[in-house]
């Protein structure tokens, strides 16, 4: 078994689409970035890569490369997960925490879990997504940004 940990944070910007775990969350702001800036998926990919010491998403999908502009991060996740399978591993489980002051994500969590399960050809029961706030503290609390943490176990 191998364990992996990933972290990501992005600035929030007015008018950007808010795509989290492949789900469009209705909101008048969203994470800014070169790709679709799907912060929890970025953290998840880094956890998968980290578990097998395969580098990080900056190495796999450099933001200096125009090819990845507005890239669908769930498609990138499929690429990363293919590498995991090629190394002889499958997902044991993933546990993701999204840190965001607003909007509330509870109504979207099940769909997010299904999107990630589909992308990793896994069972929804192996994928946990939690949302929390930092009680109006720090950059997530004042609406400057969004963060996500992911832990994975590969078997
Ligand atoms: Mg990122």
Cβ–Cβ < 8 Å for 39, 46: no
* Domain extents in the chain: 2-57+71-154
Taking alpha carbons only, the member of 44, 70, 72 closest to residue 57 is 44
CA–CA distance, 135 with 72 (Å, rounded to integer): 30
Per DSSP, 143 falls in state T
Going from the Cα of 126 to the center of ligand 1, the distance in angstroms, rounded, reads: 23
How distant is the alpha carbon of residue 76 from its chain centre? 11
Q: Count of CB atoms within 10 A of residue 149's CB?
A: 20
Going from the Cα of 10 to the center of ligand 1, the distance in angstroms, rounded, reads: 6
CA–CA distance, 13 with 145 (Å, rounded to integer): 8
Tell me, what's the pLDDT at 76?
95
Residue 13's beta-bridge partner residues?
A: 30
Residue 8's beta-bridge partner residues?
A: 148
Domain 2-57+71-154 in this protein, CATH class? alpha beta
Going from the Cα of 99 to the center of ligand 1, the distance in angstroms, rounded, reads: 14
Going from the Cα of 107 to the center of ligand 1, the distance in angstroms, rounded, reads: 23
Tokens at residue 49, please?
A: 């890569």
Tokens at residue 7, please?
A: 């972290």
Residues with CB under 5 Å of ion ligand 1 are 8, 42
Going from the Cα of 84 to the center of ligand 1, the distance in angstroms, rounded, reads: 20
User: How would you write the pLDDT of the chain (155 residues) with one tens digit per residue?
Assistant: 999 999 999 999 999 999 999 999 999 999 998 888 999 999 999 999 999 999 999 999 988 878 777 789 999 999 999 999 999 999 999 999 999 999 999 999 999 999 999 999 999 999 999 999 999 999 999 999 999 999 999 99
Tokens at residue 83, please?
A: 């590498």
Taking alpha carbons only, the member of 75, 79, 69 closest to residue 32 is 69
């Amino acid at each position: 078994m191998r364990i992996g940990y990933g972290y990501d944070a992005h600035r929030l910007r007015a008018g950007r689409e808010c795509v989290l775990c492949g789900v469009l969350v209705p909101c008048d702001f969203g994470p800014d970035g070169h790709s679709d800036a799907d912060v929890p998926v970025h953290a998840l990919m880094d956890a998968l890569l980290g578990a097998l010491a395969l580098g990080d998403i900056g190495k796999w999908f450099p933001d200096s490369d125009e090819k990845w502009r507005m890239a669908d991060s769930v498609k990138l996740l499929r690429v990363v997960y293919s590498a995991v399978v090629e190394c002889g591993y499958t997902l044991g489980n993933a546990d993701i925490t999204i840190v965001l002051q607003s909007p509330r994500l509870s109504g979207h969590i099940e769909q997010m879990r299904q999107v990630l399960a589909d992308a990793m050809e896994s069972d929804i029961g192996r994928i946990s997504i939690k949302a929390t706030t930092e009680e109006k503290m720090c950059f997530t609390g004042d609406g400057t940004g969004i963060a996500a943490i992911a832990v994975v176990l590969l078997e």
